[in-house]
Amino acid sequence: MNFQEPIEWPDEVEMLIDSLESESGERALSREERALMDVYETVPILESEDRLHEFWQSPIDHQRVIKSFDLIGAQGIVDPLNASRWCGTRSEDRGDYSETEADYLASIEEELPAGMDELVDLVLEFIEEELG
C-alpha cells in the first residue's frame, strides 16, 4: 500500500532546505535546523514501498531522526517509528518476515498516512516558531 500522493513541500520549505544544505558545509547546523533536514530527508523513505522496514534498514541515525520528528511535533510519525523499532533487528529482506510480523508491521503502517498528512503544516509551524 503506497501513499496516495507524495508530500509536496511548499517553496518556502524547499528554499530553506537548499539554504541549509549549502550552509552545512560551512557551519554546524543548530538542533532545530538539523531536525528539519532529518524530517525532509526521511520522508522519501517513509513514502517508499517498504516504508518502515526501509527506514530501519537504512544507514541513518534512527534515534536522532525519531527525535527530530518529535521536535517538530509529528507524534503521528513518531509512534509508528517507535512501534516498528523491532524491524531494525530483522533481515534486510522484508519477505523474510513471519506472517505475524508482516501483519503487525502492516497494522503499524496503517497509522503513517494520517501522520504524513499533517506533516507539511507541522513543518511550516515549526519553521515559523523555531527558525523564523
Give the list of residues 6+ apart from residue 57 with CB closer than 8 angstroms, or none. Answer: 50, 87, 88, 92
Split into its structural domains, the chain has a count of 1
Q: Which stretches of the chain score pLDDT less than 70? A: 1-4
The answer as to whether 2 is a domain residue is: no
The answer as to whether 106 is a domain residue is: yes
pTM: 0.92
Q: Which domain holds residue 100?
A: 11-127
**DSSP 8-state assignment for residue 127:** I
In this predicted model, what pLDDT tens digit does every residue of 35-71 receive, in sequence order?
A: 999 999 999 999 999 999 999 999 999 999 999 999 9
The answer as to whether 132 is a domain residue is: no
- Per the CB < 8 A criterion, the answer to whether 70 and 101 are in contact is no
- Locate 59 and state its grid cell: 544507514
Torsion of CA 67, 16, 114, 1, to 10 degrees: -100
